[in-house]
């Protein structure tokens, strides 16, 4: 009998503590991040230069450490010489949706995060004049990311992390079917505002 009472009291205390802890944190956040990008493989036998990009994300905390994120991103990698000509850019743009695990590091203002999500992006090829000469159309890809954030106070945080994007699209390029296998790593620094 005592075991059942202790179990019930323990469960009630555990659940009410979780409820109060969740109410003290803000549920929404807005993030802007950007940084350098490096292709992890050639694009149709074309070496890509170091590029860059940025993302705009909206966060929603589902549970204490688990949340969802959604947003829009842009990334650009260029090539001096390619199948598409000289001085060409390959721009990936589109939408992302995923889950994020965030956990504080002890009592410090630091926390770490892990993200995994889906992309719905396309790749535009631009010539040296900035004209779009090919568009793959939107399709599914994926994103993996991880990093750390530092609490600046007043609901602001500074983030730094590494992300990997992968997008594979088939396209008709000047009458020839080609496969664009666009993979890159990106070092990102950003700001988050919670509300």
Tell whether 173 is covered by a domain.
Answer: yes
* Span 177-190, pLDDT tens digits: 999 999 999 999 99
How many folded domains does the chain comprise? 1
Report the distance separating Cα 62 and Cα 138, nearest Å: 28
Nearest CA to 118 among 139, 138, 149, 141? 141
What is the residue-wise DSSP string for 110-130?
EEEEEEEEEEEEEEEEE-TTS
> Average of pLDDT values for 8-21?
42
pLDDT of amino acid 174: 87
> Can you give the CATH number for the domain in which 97 is found?
2.40.160.20
Which tokens belong to 55? 């993302």
What is the DSSP-derived secondary structure letter of residue 19?
A: H
Query: Does residue 1 lie within any of the structural domains?
Result: no
Does residue 20 lie in a domain region? Answer: no
The single residue listed with the structure tokens 């555990």 is: 14
In-domain check, residue 134: yes
pLDDT band at 16 (very low <50, low <70, confident <90, very high): very low
- Structural domain including 114 reads 27-194
Could you tell me the pLDDT band of residue 25, with boundaries at 50, 70 and 90? confident
pLDDT digits (tens, 9 = 90+) for 45-96: 999 999 999 999 999 999 999 999 999 999 999 999 999 999 999 999 999 9
Question: Does residue 68 form part of some domain?
Answer: yes
Residue 63 lies in a domain: yes
> Rounded distance, CA 48 to CA 184, Å?
10
pLDDT tens figures, 118-161: 999 999 999 999 999 999 999 999 999 999 999 999 999 999 99
Does some domain include residue 7? Answer: no
Residue 184 falls inside a structural domain: yes
């Amino acid at each position: 009998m005592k075991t059942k009472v202790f179990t019930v009291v323990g469960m009630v205390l555990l659940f009410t503590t979780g409820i109060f802890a969740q109410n003290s944190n803000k549920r929404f956040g807005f993030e802007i991040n950007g940084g350098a990008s490096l292709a992890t493989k050639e694009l149709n036998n074309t070496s890509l230069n170091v590029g860059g990009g940025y993302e705009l994300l909206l966060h929603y905390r589902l549970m204490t450490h688990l949340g969802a994120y959604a947003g829009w991103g842009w990334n650009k990698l260029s090539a001096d010489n390619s199948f598409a000509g000289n001085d060409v850019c390959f721009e990936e743009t589109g939408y992302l949706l995923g889950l994020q695990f965030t956990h504080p590091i002890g009592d410090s203002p630091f926390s770490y995060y892990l993200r995994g999500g889906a992309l719905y992006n396309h790749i535009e090829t631009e010539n040296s004049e900035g004209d779009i000469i090919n568009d793959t159309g939107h399709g599914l890809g994926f994103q993996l990311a991880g990093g750390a954030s530092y609490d600046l106070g007043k609901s602001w945080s500074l983030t730094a992390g590494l992300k990997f994007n992968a997008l594979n699209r088939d396209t008709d390029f000047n009458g020839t079917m080609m496969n664009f296998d666009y993979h890159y790593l990106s070092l990102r620094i950003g700001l988050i505002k919670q509300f």
